[in-house]
Structure 1
Amino acid sequence: MVKQERAVRTRKALLGAAADGFSREGYAPASLLDISRQAGVTSGALHFHFPTKAALASAVMAAAAQRLREVVQRCETRTRSGDALQLLVDVGHELTLAMREDAVLRAGFDLDGDPGCPRGIGEVSSFLGRWITATLDRADRAGELRQGLPADQVARAVFACTVGFQMLGRRDPAWVSRRMQTRFWALVLPQIAAGHRGLDAAGS
């Protein structure tokens, strides 16, 4: 049991150090030696858990995708059933907060957009894109979207803005703030909602 707990701690430390390294330096420049040192483990321990850099990046992506799913699930539990547009707003706010505090989640998005990172090792942005599309489809079927407004086009715009906020936030934290999200949704909701009374741009 002690050995198993030590292995869990080692893996968690490696994921945290790798997330920090990949976000700060990029996939290709990040050094496995530096990652192992930051995690406080030997290179041998790193390679025991993750035989290659790609395997380590894939594990970071998997952890980030799971944390993104947890963000969505928390909001789905809290938001009233049938309020698809409010759910979209709430996830935007919750994701912004999580991205500020969770290095692994940030690294998942960073790796997704890193041209040096091998393709096919995980999915974070694509999960978010599919969820936004499905949520807006549900809003459209429920009559929440303005008549004649294509749900797929709205989904692409919301997805692009959501990912864009995270990228801009790497240089300026103001982009990943509740204030910025509230201003964004206050601008967007009146343009897409069939009737936006009752929708809270600040999150429910």
Structure 2
Amino acid sequence: MKSSEDTLRQLDESPLSSFHFKTVLTSGMGFFTDAYDLFIIGVVSTILKNVWHISTLQISLLSSTALLSAALGAIVFGRVADRFGRKFVYGYELIVLAAGAIASALAPNVFWLLFFRFILGLGIGGDYPVSATLMSEYSNRYDRGKLITLVFSTQALGLIFGPLLTVLMLISGVNLDLTWRILLGVGAIPALATFWLRRVSRSRMAT
């Protein structure tokens, strides 16, 4: 079993390899998920204005709830990590995120949707620093800047994917009520995939 010091030294001095690109994928999927889940609500709110006939105030609340709870989630998960260690919370923020996404897709009305978006935001707030530090810790010192920049760029992909998926569904003639539910529920897929990838990466690093 390697000590943590030996592992960190090996990571810092290792040449660029497929491991680093797998870590870029793992970290980048976190940023992709966070960006997608935060900003897809803009598209969904437009659809819900026609489906549920929600007010301008409700649209504003839907757009801001996850952003506000993300700030709270960063504080809460950060405090828990400081007290019990980052490994204690590692990955669980993604479970909260995925649960919030799935529950949002099943929301029966705007009030439940606001609540589930709040839960989603907590997970996003907890995941954002994890995704940021994961690449920093696992990259070597020579390529760290480039790899971190590559990871952050995946946020743009998350922003683009939402509108593209919406257009494809509308062109396909999918019912509007089903469309917004799929758009919100899809956010759980990369979150759960990232959770699995990070668990696999951790188990390999420990051996």
Relative to its length, the structure with more helix (as a share) is 2
TM-score bucket of the superposed structures, by smaller chain: 0.3 to 0.5
The higher-RCO structure (CA 8 Å, 6+ apart) is 2
User: TM-score, with normalisation over the residues of structure 2?
Assistant: 0.40
